[in-house]
Structure 1
């Protein structure tokens, strides 16, 4: 079992390897090769402090831009990995292929220590600066490793343990590095074996998810040595062209190709010979493309040419719109409902039932938290049915003063009360004749009006205030409430007979935090806002990650407000995490409070203050240098407690 070295002993050991006279044989070749590079190629000194280096905000943004698609794909894997290791004191760094940390997860209680050691967003872990370390050495060697305690080049890093695994793009070039690091750990390097295997697993998952995203429009052949696990494991992935030409391969498949003496060209336009699937397997392209119809389990066995190895393959076909059967009803009649969700199971089930009820003469009760989109669902029900050409009339029973609800709903005859219109007014119920009346927050309707509404529903006629002759109406009522109407009935605040009149069926909308299609909803709402503003914009990966991680207590209404804010304050056509409202920022990366920042302005806060001083507190000039909007800079100044001298009390 190894023990922590003293700094002086560590320095002597590093220098002995650099001079080819090692004083021990306890270090792996991958580590000692890096030590030699640090001294001979970079001119680093193991005794000299190597303080954490952070790139400026604008430079970090450029690195995140380049890694945007990867950050978006990797988000779920990084968060899942963090849940496994957070309690053990680890942080996660996702760096680009130059060693710049573009995504970070860690305990906010240890933020000061993480910043000091460089285990934080924007840190530069390239080997030529930081010396031997997991990220930098992983980039140089392009293989997984653990850099544990005295494996680090700098004596100031020997308390750290870091494990890093490379992530390659579909062409085999280094794309990123996934790293987990801890400030404290057991002295034995063997304690990190499980960490290494865990990071390898998640790096492969991220790499393959990126592969599937990049080639989602192509047939993808996935194969494995086990028939039972091919559809689950998907160890080997090949993207194909329509004639069987190999477009790309994941790491495992590239290794298999290399064993067979095959290598993919750099690009389709390369002069190198294109590789086809029949070069690897004893088959023809038609054998591959017929896999979905070849057997009951949609799996087919093939053997390689070189070693006659047996593999079981399945084909993932690109998504295509299914052809519509002759005579099938047009999707136009239900497109309004289809737009409300993507692949969330609860929404899918609810919308399937809603489609069957579009033209049924049943009143509908919508239930869900505030902001979940009850009015939009009500309108979609209306637009998807036979009443869509008739009026859709909405009233919020909670927002309208009690004194006005009765006249607004039922209308009134001329001269009914002082200040009324001389010709009277048709009420909302009568205006909805032939169509749909949407009563939002029905639980807030006064009891005496509940009685009158019950009579309207029972008799399908309405009597305006001051009138004595009922008027026939044909309406469908869709009511909504975020409150439990049964509890209101028990409390004597809602009529039970009205509840059963309204409750032809109940449709429940899940809260946004529980939905599996948050990505779809964010994109849909963002697209709608962009269309309203007649501008083109996009959400960058770091902003999307923050939006997906936020709990959204205000649901879709809060999401819309947050995106409106981002569009209003962003200076470019790209929404970044810095353009989001403060409450939407990741909880694992909270920004410091103003009180703590006033006591000590660390890291980014110090850089902000220095920039403002350089520009003599000209906020516009400082914002231009930092690549952010003036409102964003003001928010950061407030967060870090930075106050201009001429604004001091």
Structure 2
């Protein structure tokens, strides 16, 4: 996706910014318990930080990589980059050395609080109060020790336009071209767009703009509709273009915005698969959309139609649309040639339709949820709901209400009409409890009672509700060891342990390439993807410590780098993945594919000399152009400079 930095001159006088700074400084002066000139940063306890991180997991899923990439641009300039929560707490950060507060703690350390109340006037605190991006010059900070720094922050908005955190930079550098407000605002927008697309994979997602050239740029508009064609998500560009309020929960439908029924748009899309379409709005304006079948993921797929919409228009020529998504796979689809997996599938097929609980064991990332969905899709309950619950991902204080539901007014903050709960949502279908080994003991007792009585008591309710579902559990823990440690109920274990299967780790499977092609088809929205022979070899050799989850991310990254082509080459693979293959994790040379002449690892030899040799060859090939050499090698320019510094200038070429 093209990254276009917004044209903002933060050095010029800006009345709105100045007003916000003055207002903040006055609040700090008037506050009785205002921070003092030497106030160190307040920090959360490890337990409180873990809770805050879990609460903000969705945001972190999409912001962490951005923090890493942004820091790579400013590393070595006495700077730090972070993502914060809604209260100004640093959740994840990268920082140069020697940036500390008066107590000697690193600046932007996870857990430290940068709210205005905690540390006075600073960009994070003011940005959260004003809900806009903010740049604070050194002298404008409230406390003395911060007056050596400039701070910059931009709010991060969710799909409803609600602030959920900030992306922030603090720096001592006077070379601020990389730290401008425009850069941070642009980067924050990219995070927001990725988050919206990543969280709307089962919705109808449209990407549009009145100018075709702005599709898949920072200016693109994104909207998402539910199965009833109601608008449920927008990005900032769409809200601005459509004139929608940021925090309003609109009841607008598809036909309240676009002057064309969704069914007709769908038909047109299938007839003009890769071509831009012109779509009229009700107010007479015309926009361009690009439709792309498949999952709406962080790489920016433009359109995702749910199965209900497809089935509603059976006369449509939808051969391309009906490509199976992983969520629609049956067990037969997962049988891609590995003998271990084949035996597991054969065993699972024998209990389909039986009222027998299933426990799936295996390392993290081996595809337990994919297998569970395929099991559900292969049985008589396939028309019913499939409800997945990650017992390790839901905060402790919420998991009981998430599982069993609650009545209106059951507790402070309860929804007006209460909540049905995941167990009742699974009625008539399948309930999948992932990481069951992480469930709290007290909830294990409630779950056991539900399984025995087939009834659910909602919090604040006065009657039990009958429920009927197929139960599947998964864990990477040894539940028998958890029982011995007193962390898992033995009676619940025997109630769940109707049938156990073990999914093998990816490193032990013989169908890695076939599985990779399957993943690539899904990540590419169904279009044909071809692996070069070198990529096939690497996929076979890789240890895959992160299993299928790692494979998905490797392929997703490679597809992004290969766009618009459909052939994945070694140069498209992520640096860390290549590093693990070539050097067993050494990060010196992450890719050694140079003009189709790969540097082969000998059985013996000096690795450092081999790395320097590869760099020299790349520099010679590019006539000393470091940037081009870095691109060919798949590493950063700084990596080249660091390696060359170690050997001295006389040996560079």
| Superposition TM-score, scaled by structure 1 size | 0.46
| Superposition TM-score, scaled by structure 2 size | 0.45
Larger radius of gyration: 1
Higher helix share: 1
Greater relative contact order (Cα 8 A, min sep 6): structure 1 or 2?
Answer: 1
